[in-house]
Structure 1
Amino acid sequence: MLKTNPTGKAVDILNAARMLMMDRGFNGFSFRDVAAEVGIKSASIHYHFATKADLAEATARTYRQDFEEAVAHIEATSAPERMRAYGALFVTTLRDQDRLCLGGVLAADVASLPEQVRAEVRQFFAEQTDWVESTVREGQKSGELRQDLDAATYAKMFVSSLEGAMMVSRGLQQPQDLENALDVLVQLSLA
């Protein structure tokens, strides 16, 4: 496990692992694949990450932290606008990078993930649903969002729906479908 903030070659390794995992999942990449992307020998990866599980954990953690930082910088003023801006993070990943959310990709592989990676996946989704739930509660308090929504249930449905719509949209090669799904999800919450 990488114990400090990654720098230099470790960052290159993490970035390559992230892209490979977003495309192929945990089971679809190897140290050899990462090494080829970075331009090093696969044995060199062991200097920074002893095992594939350590590399996947560090990759999932940095993705979670980067996503958390992006969410923290959402500057929309109304709850519906914040929810749209949140969903736009998914839309941008699919439309601009033709990739899926790493959290969703790893969740699909959860049965074969090492426990340390599962823990990162659980934390990713806990943080995301907590943020959406908080936004829903604020929107209900301000009268922007429906009072009859159970905020915790809606938050889980919102995040789950974005993840699923992202996968289906990519599978159909129709990224606009994700944007349409986001619009419907927000519309369903409006007062």
Structure 2
Amino acid sequence: MNTTPQTTRDQILDYAQKLIRLRGCNGFSYRDLAEHVGVKTSSIHYYFPSKDDLLYEAVCAYSTRTLAALRAIDAKLPADVKLDRYVDFLEEMSEGEEICLCGMLAADLASVPDRVAQQIQGFVHAHEVWLSNVLIEGRAQGTLHVHGCPETAGRALFATLQGSGLVCRLFKTTSRLRDIVGAMRVQPANA
């Protein structure tokens, strides 16, 4: 457990990520952040001169954290277990009504600057590539159904999981994430 006290900047950035995941980029103001952290809005402007700067830093921080979690999944695990660990992570990240920060901002794409959009694209691409590699392994191991090109299947799986995150939020459950991964499993012949 990290016992290092958070800096004001870290507190602002963490709460901004939470608000983006709950409300989108247009659903909060610097005043909301200031009230939560207990600082003046001018302090927030000191760290993040514009909301575009804040969005960019939020995407970078979120992406760094999620990609570290992907790298932490043991490469020696069977592909279907890796996919389970990925869903475990998605469930952990879906606290309450929060959804994927990059998914939320992709829905608000008209409101984000190009450099934020580019970071979101990088996030999506990294997840798609990781999922594609897991699907390639799963096909070779005979544990996962992969129809067609694994790269296309990886993109489809990522998009399906992102969409499922929205539906999970609507129904206040994460079970639909497991349903999607369950549908990818190869079932034993006697099942």
For the superposition of Structure 1 and Structure 2, which TM-score range results when normalised by the shorter chain?
0.7 to 0.9
Please tell me whether residue 90 in structure 1 is matched to residue 98 in structure 2.
Answer: no
Change in 2 beyond 3 A, CA 1:36/1:188: farther
Deviation at 1:143, TM superposition (A): 3.8
> Which amino acid counterpart does residue 132 of structure 1 have in structure 2?
L
Change in 2 beyond 3 A, CA 1:146/1:179: closer
Q: Which residue of 1 aligns with 2:106?
A: 107
Encode CA deviations 1:5-50: one digit per residue, 9 max, x unaligned. Answer: xx71111111010000010011111111111111111110111111
Could you list the runs of 5+ residues in structure 1 that have no partner in the other structure? 1-6
Please tell me whether residue 68 in structure 1 is matched to residue 67 in structure 2.
Answer: yes
Encode CA deviations 1:110-138: one digit per residue, 9 max, x unaligned. Answer: 12211121111101101100111111222
> Which amino acid counterpart does residue 187 of structure 1 have in structure 2?
R
Question: Could you tell me the percent identity over the aligned residues?
Answer: 29
More helix by share: 1
1:149/1:189 contact within 8 Å kept:
no
What's the TM-score once normalised by structure 2's chain length?
0.87
Change in 2 beyond 3 A, CA 1:30/1:172: same
> Which amino acid counterpart does residue 22 of structure 1 have in structure 2?
R
Q: Which runs of 4+ in 1 moved over 3 A?
A: 141-149, 188-191
Q: Which residue of 1 aligns with 2:150?
A: 151
C-alpha distance in structure 2 between counterparts of 1:47 and 1:190, whole Å: 59
1:145/1:190 contact within 8 Å kept:
no
- Look up the SS of the partner of 1:62 in the other structure: helix
- Look up the SS of the partner of 1:149 in the other structure: coil
- Look up the SS of the partner of 1:133 in the other structure: helix
RMSD: 2.2
- Look up the SS of the partner of 2:26 in the other structure: helix
Aligned residues, how many? 183
C-alpha distance in structure 2 between counterparts of 1:21 and 1:83, whole Å: 26
What's the TM-score once normalised by structure 1's chain length?
0.87
Change in 2 beyond 3 A, CA 1:171/1:33: same
Deviation at 1:189, TM superposition (A): 10
Change in 2 beyond 3 A, CA 1:124/1:147: closer
